[in-house]
Structure 1
Amino acid sequence: MKPDLRTALAQRPRVGDGAMATYLYQLGLPVGVSFEEFNLLKPDVIADVHRQYAAAGAEIIETNTYSAQHNKLSRYGLEKKTEEINAAGVAIARKAVGNDAYVVGSIGAVRGGAGKNVRTAIVKRDFEEQVGILLASGVDGLLLETFFDLEELSLALGIIRKKSDISVICQFAVEDAERTHDGIPLAEAFRRLKGEGADVLGFNCRSGPNGILRAVETIPNDLGLPLSVFPNAGIPDYVDGKVIYSATPEYFASSAIKFADAGARLIGGCCGTTPEHIAAIANALQSYSPLAQAKVIPKTSTQTSTEVIEASPRKSAADLPPQDAEPSIVDLVRQRHTVIVELDPPRDLDITKFMAGAQALKDAKADALTMADNSLAVTRMSNMALAALLKERVGIRPLAHIACRDRNLIGTQSHMMGFDALGIDHVLAVTGDPAKFGDLPGSSSVYDLSSFEIIRMIKQLNEGVAFSGKPLKQKAKFIIGAAFNPNVKHLDKAVQRLERKISAGADYIMTQPVYDPELIVRIADMTKHLSIPIFIGIFPLANGRNAEYLHNEVPGIQLSDSVRRRMNGLEGQAGRAEGIKIAEELLDVAMAHFNGIYLMTPFMAYEMTVSLTEYVREKSKSSPSGK
């Protein structure tokens, strides 16, 4: 007879299951529906997913009831089926796995996503109803997952503890590796939940293995409870109308060992994970033996969210009045090595460090600063506002990204008209990461336009014609950039896609980071027929863990085996020094083939991109006219 769940999780690391909703999406089921309703409409499909995870090695299976609460179901007209859907979720899981795995009732935050302003009385009502149904249906435990705020999680836990002594797993979704969304230090939040009766504490969603490992490291050694981790399969990418995750099962296998060494006793997967990811975790943990020294890997200064950026363009001298003529980025790069540096807009209201970085990069003679448009769907300060400030206060050229995700046709044209009025005429057209995977998952992704279409529409403004076809009385002067990802298996197909962007009207290209000198040479060879300039992306690595995060979790980035070996295990100053050295070696090759250089600043460590900008300037002295 197997032990109860509480005892099982105290014995050794156990394997959890993987994603339900994103896996159903991969199997061809539609988005925009209640996946929980499939407990009634497609019970065989849900049962098969449970069986696949159990066969892959999952010892703990979650019911398909994450959003099966009155308030959330009411959005689909299903609130009267709350009890039926939850009870069916438990019955399907139990029948699918029998006694081979523990069945835990999944409960998501009522205030998650679009429900941020739901009244406390409704939150309490919904938790009491769902908890009661799941307990009556015979679950082995309850999983409170993807909670953003301590107060809501504490409320749900308190309701459970008034009804039962059942095993309860509590999991936060965090972007900040040290605090909950309502600003409570994670260590403090965990101690409070332990005192309120939680049996297991941990994290799921919002981050891949790297970000969740950092959050685990903030938890003190003496907590005295098992930890649980269910990371996403990296950062999602939006390719040809489909959401794709990049983290491989092999990466999850190596991460599982790190999690176990850090004290995790329940290890599974969240968005983007599949039975293959769970099988990799199970195989990695099969012969696991814990480190002699327990729990926490030494905390480092590694930061998480790295935003893979695509650049922005500028004004053409031919379009400006003679007295104001200023060479554009395209003009400059045809004459000499030209450096564009990416600097992330802040996620809060303090622009002090951003402006200091901008000034330092101007002093280093960067030609322009590029700013993403809420990259990775994470809310940041408006790049339009910062672009205006850069022109006014620093006197450096801004390049603003324009994402298709956030604005419909009306908003996009309005936005572009505002840029024109401010004299900000270099932009980069990008698709934008899906909103549901950012920090406001309840927001909508618009995508009225593709990256090809937005290039054509902005180009149309340069003819003095609105998106609607009506005249605008004068012409805009936008220079439009397009993004290029060369880190793909079939580079020839990527170049063909690039040719389509050029046909749509792109004036220059900026690439994703490249870490292989041979690939830089291949790019040069395969794009030599193109008529517009290319800026090669160089992203200096901060440390070994940053390297693994970028390689495994961030779409469009692929590190060479050599670079990963060189960065392996390096932290702090040693990591930054080696990262700079690798970047300089890449620059040596890039500058021999391209005049355009695109530097990306890791974690606002602008000292690194200042150093590399100065390196380009010094190296250019021997060939002032460029390559």
Structure 2
Amino acid sequence: MRTFIDALNSRVLLTDGDIKPALNKLDLDMQRFGFGHEDCDVALNITRPDVIAAIHRDYLEAGADVIRTHTRNASPDVLEKYGMQDEVFIINHLAAETACQAVDALPGGNRRRFVLGVVDQSASVGDNPVLRNDAYRQVQGLVSGGVDAVSFKTLPNLEQARSQLASARHALLELGASVPLLLEYSEDLEFTDDTVADLTDGVYFVESSETIKAGYPVPQTGQKILVHGGKTPADTAVIDRKLRSSAGDGFRPATRPNVSPLEKVIPVSSWIDYSSVKAV
């Protein structure tokens, strides 16, 4: 079975879109489902996983290869604002579990899709022991929930970033997990190459979906590339068709020159029968 790294190293993969716009369209009583906090939407991972799962499924049906967990605001420092810092593990675990169940629930034919656990600690506060403990708890929750990889957005301070990433790596080792730890590229980070190479399995870049819709080519430099889905599932379906139209084999553009259209690895990443999707 192809791993997330295998697919990311050879193909451009399409992610889902953001969950918040979809949530904003729903008439949810966030005072009730957010444990008294109208803006604590990560609490829905506990109270309304069915809502999160339905959004995941919409993006999968639109053509997303990668579903990201609803955990960008599920770091301990953010949850502390709501008095929910003790729920870090369970929120991240349930978010990962919900995303995995959404992927498993939809027939994919020969298609291989992935769940990316999202950790955003770029605004975290505290000394190094606090940062290490926070990273450890969040990564353990995501990995125990079944993610295929972990995406880490860390502090721009190199020493603190290494502390966070080292703790994330320790969490993986303690679980005996071979889940790759990837650093999300940011212009604010000046250490996305050799400085943290020993702590991560690579750096990935997020390509703007707008450039894809406009017809610009995806970079073909061998970088690990994810294309961000649209604001809605319908927008994501447009991007999906645009990507596939630029691929020689109808799947996804290749990111290295030696990828054959008749690739022997099964299942081929991103394959699905789109006959039911109307052309734009």
TM-score under structure 1 normalisation? 0.34
1:121-520 equivalent positions in 2, closer than 5 A: 121-145=129-153, 148-162=156-170, 163-164=172-173, 165-174=178-187, 180=189, 184=190, 188-193=191-196, 195-202=197-204, 228-229=205-206, 231=208, 251-254=211-214, 257-261=216-220, 263-269=222-228, 273-289=231-247
**Residues paired across the two proteins, number:** 234
Question: In the superposition, relative to structure 1, how do residues 149 and 58 fare at CA in structure 2: closer, same or farther (>3 Å)?
Answer: farther
Kindly indicate whether the alpha-carbon contact (under 8 Å) linking 1:13 and 1:264 is maintained by their aligned counterparts in 2.
no
Quick one: distance in 1 between partners of 2:143 and 2:16? Answer: 20
1:109-124 equivalent positions in 2, closer than 5 A: 109=121, 111-112=122-123, 115=124, 117-124=125-132
Kindly indicate whether the alpha-carbon contact (under 8 Å) linking 1:14 and 1:266 is maintained by their aligned counterparts in 2.
yes
Give the CA deviation at 1:148. Answer: 4.1
Quick one: distance in 2 between partners of 1:68 and 1:292? Answer: 32
CA-to-partner distance for each residue in 1:576-613, whole Å, 9 max, x for gaps?
xxxxxxxxxxxxxxxxxxxxxxxxxxxxxxxxxxxxxx
CA-to-partner distance for each residue in 1:537-586, whole Å, 9 max, x for gaps?
xxxxxxxxxxxxxxxxxxxxxxxxxxxxxxxxxxxxxxxxxxxxxxxxxx
Determine the structure 2 residue equivalent to 1:9: 8
Verify: 1:108 aligned to 2:67, yes or no.
no
Amino acid of the structure 1 residue aligned with 2:118:
S
Which blocks of at least 5 consecutive residues in structure 1 are unaligned? Answer: 203-227, 232-248, 295-627
Question: In the superposition, relative to structure 1, how do residues 85 and 58 fare at CA in structure 2: closer, same or farther (>3 Å)?
Answer: same
Q: Give the RMSD, CA atoms, in angstroms.
A: 3.1
Kindly indicate whether the alpha-carbon contact (under 8 Å) linking 2:19 and 2:55 is maintained by their aligned counterparts in 1.
yes
Determine the structure 1 residue equivalent to 2:267: none
Question: In the superposition, relative to structure 1, how do residues 79 and 161 fare at CA in structure 2: closer, same or farther (>3 Å)?
Answer: closer
The SS at the match of 2:192 is helix
Give the CA deviation at 1:50. Answer: 0.6
Determine the structure 1 residue equivalent to 2:273: none
The SS at the match of 1:143 is strand
Quick one: distance in 2 between partners of 1:173 and 1:32? Answer: 30
Kindly indicate whether the alpha-carbon contact (under 8 Å) linking 1:158 and 1:196 is maintained by their aligned counterparts in 2.
no
Verify: 1:54 aligned to 2:14, yes or no.
no
The SS at the match of 1:138 is coil
Quick one: distance in 2 between partners of 1:22 and 1:120? Answer: 34
Amino acid of the structure 2 residue aligned with 1:55:
E
CA-to-partner distance for each residue in 1:324-346, whole Å, 9 max, x for gaps?
xxxxxxxxxxxxxxxxxxxxxxx
TM-score under structure 2 normalisation? 0.71
Question: In the superposition, relative to structure 1, how do residues 133 and 250 fare at CA in structure 2: closer, same or farther (>3 Å)?
Answer: closer
Identity of aligned residues (%): 25
Question: In the superposition, relative to structure 1, how do residues 55 and 74 fare at CA in structure 2: closer, same or farther (>3 Å)?
Answer: same
Give the CA deviation at 1:27. Answer: 4.3
Question: In the superposition, relative to structure 1, how do residues 167 and 292 fare at CA in structure 2: closer, same or farther (>3 Å)?
Answer: closer
Verify: 1:96 aligned to 2:102, yes or no.
yes
Give the CA deviation at 1:139. Answer: 1.4
Give the CA deviation at 1:268. Answer: 3.1
Kindly indicate whether the alpha-carbon contact (under 8 Å) linking 2:116 and 2:147 is maintained by their aligned counterparts in 1.
yes
Quick one: distance in 2 between partners of 1:141 and 1:293? Answer: 21
Give the CA deviation at 1:89. Answer: 0.5
Question: In the superposition, relative to structure 1, how do residues 20 and 149 fare at CA in structure 2: closer, same or farther (>3 Å)?
Answer: farther
Amino acid of the structure 2 residue aligned with 1:69:
S
Question: In the superposition, relative to structure 1, how do residues 18 and 155 fare at CA in structure 2: closer, same or farther (>3 Å)?
Answer: farther
Amino acid of the structure 2 residue aligned with 1:122:
V
Which blocks of at least 5 consecutive residues in structure 2 are unaligned? Answer: 31-36, 248-252, 258-280
1:85 aligned residue (91, 98, 110): 91
Kindly indicate whether the alpha-carbon contact (under 8 Å) linking 1:17 and 1:58 is maintained by their aligned counterparts in 2.
yes
Give the CA deviation at 1:282. Answer: 1.7
The SS at the match of 1:134 is helix
Give the CA deviation at 1:3. Answer: 0.4
Give the CA deviation at 1:141. Answer: 0.8
Question: In the superposition, relative to structure 1, how do residues 293 and 16 fare at CA in structure 2: closer, same or farther (>3 Å)?
Answer: closer
Kindly indicate whether the alpha-carbon contact (under 8 Å) linking 1:259 and 1:267 is maintained by their aligned counterparts in 2.
no
Give the CA deviation at 1:189. Answer: 3.0
Question: In the superposition, relative to structure 1, how do residues 28 and 129 fare at CA in structure 2: closer, same or farther (>3 Å)?
Answer: same
Amino acid of the structure 2 residue aligned with 1:254:
A
CA-to-partner distance for each residue in 1:141-169, whole Å, 9 max, x for gaps?
11113754444443333223333442122
Question: In the superposition, relative to structure 1, how do residues 77 and 201 fare at CA in structure 2: closer, same or farther (>3 Å)?
Answer: same
* Bigger CA radius of gyration: 1
